[in-house]
Amino acid sequence: MNYVLTHIPERENKPRNKGLTMVMDKGLSTREAEDLVASSGKYVDIVKLGFGTSLLCPDLENKINVYKQADIKVYFGGTLFEAFVARDQFEEYRKYLLDCEVEYVEISDGVLPIDESLKCDYIRELAKDFTVLSEVGLKTGERHLTNDEWVEKMKAERVAGAWKVIAEARESGTIGIFNKDGSANTELIKTIDEAMNADNILWEAPLKSQQVWFIKNFGPEVNLGNIATNEVIALETLRAGLRGDTLLDFLPK
Amino acid sequence: MNYVLTHIPERENKPRNKGLTMVMDKGLSTREAEDLVASSGKYVDIVKLGFGTSLLCPDLENKINVYKQADIKVYFGGTLFEAFVARDQFEEYRKYLLDCEVEYVEISDGVLPIDESLKCDYIRELAKDFTVLSEVGLKTGERHLTNDEWVEKMKAERVAGAWKVIAEARESGTIGIFNKDGSANTELIKTIDEAMNADNILWEAPLKSQQVWFIKNFGPEVNLGNIATNEVIALETLRAGLRGDTLLDFLPK
Amino acid sequence: MNYVLTHIPERENKPRNKGLTMVMDKGLSTREAEDLVASSGKYVDIVKLGFGTSLLCPDLENKINVYKQADIKVYFGGTLFEAFVARDQFEEYRKYLLDCEVEYVEISDGVLPIDESLKCDYIRELAKDFTVLSEVGLKTGERHLTNDEWVEKMKAERVAGAWKVIAEARESGTIGIFNKDGSANTELIKTIDEAMNADNILWEAPLKSQQVWFIKNFGPEVNLGNIATNEVIALETLRAGLRGDTLLDFLPK
């Protein structure tokens, strides 16, 4: 829109390489996907069909087309990749992706332990046909990654061909880059930020307090993911300094 | 759908007697009810029009028909039954149900104290014209049921004619079979499970952690209720082992 | 509807001066706004397009018309007013409001410090062309208002021409008239209630526990705001004594 207001942070238009908003679709109907596009399409860069929901969606082809026609990238949650690998069905997953005509894929090891070199092999392999997002971080507290391991994995996966590396937080925002109470694990995030080009990281940040934290610390064009379908406009107001939490952040002092 | 994946737990098709998913509709428009059917209809067995919302719904007849045409059973929240009984208007309630052409009814005493023998009389009476779900458990902490009282009431209500007995948790999931922090009251649930046929119990489990707990402890075909309208597909991925929390639970070791 | 039930508290029909329900729209599509009207239109008095969302809405004119045609008043969040004032663009805001053909406006100082006499000047000025809602209360804990200051500001803003004064709680319900845990700041609310005519106050109360508290303490026709779009019918059941929390409150003892 043509802002009436001065001093609104600039945002690149889609398709863009930073300031990405990734939304989690947990099972919308096709008409609800149309509503998402109607209300927020220009602010949504990527839609993740969360975990294995794509397999349960009764109208998958049409829903994917709704997103694609709005210039929104679509990929399936990494848990679905893990589900195929856990069954030794990697080739079937590749076929499934081709059948669905999605151009993006997430590779993760959040639940299923996968040797890092094998994970990078999967990335290299799928990067031949798809744009790969890899995810680093575990979904449970049973195993643990040191801050250095986070960075090593991220670097290796970028080298293997990942377009972006996702930093895990789950839908709840209480693990990975966040503490159990949802507050930022600032040491970990700082370590990642110092080692990586921020444009290549997609931070999962489902809670408003987390979105505010990232925008205040990384600026309005930080890449944020796991945004709820009904929070996209609200997030965009945070990026634009049009919500109380960031109202005074982008004004001249 | 035809799963590409192996080792997905079997699910009976609707109409089924176990593995039921009961969804709480707190006031959807008719078009939103259509969206629920479009996205999730095959996974929804029962819709409860929560508490007294049916009386406030401006388009009730059409909404009920949307659900019925998708082979979804519809009933009104037990609180509405209690509202009529509290006014000594039981006969008016029966007439209201017949007018609305619903075939299911919930009988509860979550707020209004009703003598158990009288509650069973209501069950017997309504079971002549409707399929009855009775609910056990209190909505506030002011009164208390012992674990044995839970079981006695459940048994008596089944004998009186209840098709299923609902175990109370409210929309919040913080009372009845759950503790104040939402964790499972494992002693109570174990006591109920040992005394009753699990297929006859419908556990209210609105929070994801509760759904995970029941699926891990009772298997993918446990009956679960008070599911939010936008969480049906997510629940189904838990039942199918297609979400991180249950990804490894149904695989051969 | 014609209640089948006796002893339901009376509610004035719209347009009304008390018992108002103000809903927060954080970015609905036009079709979703139609759904809100279809399910709940007769229970919604006012819709606030929260914070600066109106500037980001791709179909603003049509959405506003959907609400207006359902006899729902529309105004933009006070944060947008503050965003214009912070840029010394007050006149542009007036023009923007006229362009959008909204008849209501919120004036607040929740984030931007504005001298109270200047705030009252803005109220007087905008009251010439619009119906003004002013808001008292801060959005962060960095500054603090005493209970007496709350009342002084409310009185001054009513005198300056505010139709209603909104008591701040944010979307989260954890500040202003509520404590950090969401419980009511009873001393503050009591102080306000003793000094003001309750019909002139619009209490933000996004959480169910807060709505219950106000209905139990102020009756079913208390003015409540920041209601989520999918909670309007649920709130109305609380006002009508058709939900467990208030089921027994309006019955003869």
Q: Do C83 and A42 touch (CB under 8 A)?
A: no
Q: Which residues of C touch A39 (CB under 8 A)?
A: 27-29, 32, 57-58
Residues in chain A predicted with pLDDT less than 70, given as ranges, are 1-3
Distance to chain C for B86, nearest Cα, Å: 8
What is the least distance, in Å, from the CA of C134 to any CA of chain A?
A: 16
SS3 (DSSP) at A158:
helix
What are the residue ranges spanned by the domains of chain A? Answer: 21-246
- Closest by Cβ to B27, choosing from C6, C39, C241: C39
Min Cα distance A233 → chain C (Å) is 6
> What CA–CA distance (Å, rounded) separates B86 from A120?
65
In this structure, the number of other CB atoms found within 10 A of the CB of residue A252 comes to 6
Substitution target in B25, B48, B55 with the highest count of C β-carbons within 10 Å is B55
* 8 Å CB contact of B29 and C42: no
Pairing of strands A201-204, A46-49: unpaired
Mean of the pLDDT values across residues B130-159? 94
Predicted pLDDT of residue B2 = 52
Provide the CA C129 distance to its chain's centre, in angstroms. Answer: 20
- One-letter identity of residue A172: S
Using an 8 Å CB-CB cutoff, list chain B residues near A58.
1, 38-39, 41-42
C53-100 pLDDT, tens per residue? 999 999 999 999 999 999 999 999 999 999 999 999 999 999 999 999
Q: Which of B52, B55, B86 sits opposite C251 (nearest CB)?
A: B86
Chain B residues with CB under 8 Å of A91 CB are: none
Is-contact A174 A181, C-beta < 8 A? yes
Q: Do the chains contact at C87 and A7, CB–CB below 8 Å? A: yes
Q: How many residues does chain C have?
A: 253
pLDDT digits (tens, 9 = 90+) for A76-111: 999 999 999 999 999 999 999 999 999 999 999 999
Residues 6+ away with beta carbon under 8 Å from B170: B139, B176, B204, B206, B226, C244
Alpha carbon distance C206, C171 (integer Å): 6
CATH level 3 topology of B21-246: TIM Barrel (3.20.20)
CB contact under 8 Å between A56 and B6, yes or no, is: no
Query: What is the distance between the alpha carbons of residues B141 and B143, in angstroms, rounded to a whole number?
Result: 6
In total, the C-beta contacts within 8 angstroms joining chain A to chain C are 91
Q: How far is A42 from chain C (nearest CA, A)?
A: 9
Quick check: B150 pLDDT over 50? yes
> Which residues of B sit within 8 Å Cβ distance of A?
1, 3-7, 34-36, 38-43, 230-234, 236-237, 240-245, 247-248, 251
Considering only CB atoms, which chain A residues are within 8 Å of B40?
Answer: 27
Structure tokens at C35: 């759904």
Give contacts of B251 with chain A, Cβ < 8 Å.
Answer: 86-87
Kindly list the residues from chain C whose CB atom is less than 8 angstroms away from the CB atom of residue B140: 244
| Count of beta carbons in the 10 Å neighbourhood of residue C141 | 9
Do the Cβ atoms of B244 and A59 come within 8 Å?
Answer: no
- Per-residue pLDDT tens digits for B205-230: 999 999 999 999 999 999 999 999 99
CB within 8 Å: B232 and A29: no
Kindly write down the DSSP assignment for every residue of C2-23, as one continuous string. --SSSSPPP-PPSS-SSS-EEE
pLDDT of amino acid A4: 86
| Percent of residues, chain C, with pLDDT higher than 90 | 93
Task: Compare all CA atoms of chain B with the CA of C240 and give the residue at the minimum distance.
Answer: B52
Nearest to B89 among C6, C42, C234 (CB): C6
Structure tokens at C212: 């219950």
Measure CA A223 to chain center.
8
Is residue A187 classed as helix, strand or coil in its secondary structure? helix
Contact at CB, C244 and B30, closer than 8 angstroms: no
Question: Residue holding tokens 């998402």?
Answer: A36
- Evaluate whether B95 touches B89 at the Cβ level (below 8 Å): no
pLDDT, tens only, C121-169: 999 999 999 999 999 999 887 888 999 999 999 999 999 999 999 999 9
Find the CB nearest C82 among A7, A237, A247: A247
Average pLDDT, chain B: 96
Q: Look at C242 and B56 and tell me if their CB atoms are within 8 Å.
A: yes
Over residues C17-43, the mean pLDDT reads 98
ipTM, interface predicted TM-score of the complex: 0.96
Instruction: Write the secondary structure of chain B as one string of H (helix), E (strand) and C (coil).
Output: CCCCCCCCCCCCCCCCCCCCEEEEECCCCHHHHHHHHHHHHHHCCEEEECCCHHHHCCCHHHHHHHHHHCCCEEEECHHHHHHHHHCCCHHHHHHHHHHHCCCEEEECCCCCCCCHHHHHHHHHHHCCCCEEEEEECCCCCCCCCCHHHHHHHHHHHHHHCCCEEEECCCCCCCCCCECCCCCECHHHHHHHHHHCCHHHEEEECCCHHHHHHHHHHHCCCCCEEEEEHHHHHHHHHHHHCCCHHHCCCCCCC
* Mean pLDDT over each residue of chain A, to the nearest integer: 96
What is the C-alpha separation between A82 and C185, in angstroms, rounded?
A: 48
A92: which chain B residues are within 8 Å (Cβ-Cβ)? 4-5
Asked if B203 contacts B173 with a C-beta cutoff of 8 angstroms, the reply is no
Please tell me the distance from the alpha carbon of residue A93 to that of residue A96, in angstroms, as a whole number: 5
Q: Which residue on chain B is closest to A28 by alpha carbon?
A: B39
Of B43-47, B167-171, C218-222, the range with the lowest mean pLDDT is B167-171
Q: β-strand A164-167 against A201-204: which pairing, if any?
A: parallel
CA-angle at B47, arms to B44 and B52, nearest 5°:
165
Residue of C23, C44, C233 to mutate, testing the B interface (most B Cβ within 10 Å of its Cβ) = C233
Question: Tokens for C90?
Answer: 């007050």
The predicted pLDDT at position A1 comes to 47
Which of C26, C55, C110 is the closest to A3 by Cβ? C55
pLDDT for C2 equals 52
